[in-house]
Amino acid sequence: MKRWYGKLLGFFAGAALMRGNPPLGALIGLLIGHAFDSDWFKLRRDNPYAALGLTSDATDAEVDQAYRRLISQYHPDRMAGAAPELREQAETKAREINAAYDRIKTLRKR
């Protein structure tokens, strides 16, 4: 279980808001908290292909080539002598690239 605080807050908020029937309010709050913890309300789904500058019909070779090109450009080791802000941006971008590449590989294994 990754996150739990949505359930906890939902439980207490539901119980407090439904003073006439606290157990029902707590149950409803718990369910809503679980939905938030599980990212059911996530409005935007990340597209791993867009992070690599590709479309979903790209071949495996194109995915590998785009990954290698981008990670060589944004790898934090290449920014060793740069300003701390640039190193932080490079680390963030490298994390996004790695996550997108891992997600594509996982999707294509199925």
Q: What is the pTM of this model?
A: 0.57
pLDDT in tens, 36-87: 777 676 655 678 898 899 988 899 999 999 999 999 998 888 888 888 888 8
pLDDT in tens, 1-32: 477 777 778 878 888 888 788 888 888 887 88
Domain ranges of the chain: 5-37, 48-109
CATH number of 48-109: 1.10.287.110
On whether the CB atoms of residues 101 and 88 are closer than 8 A, the answer is no
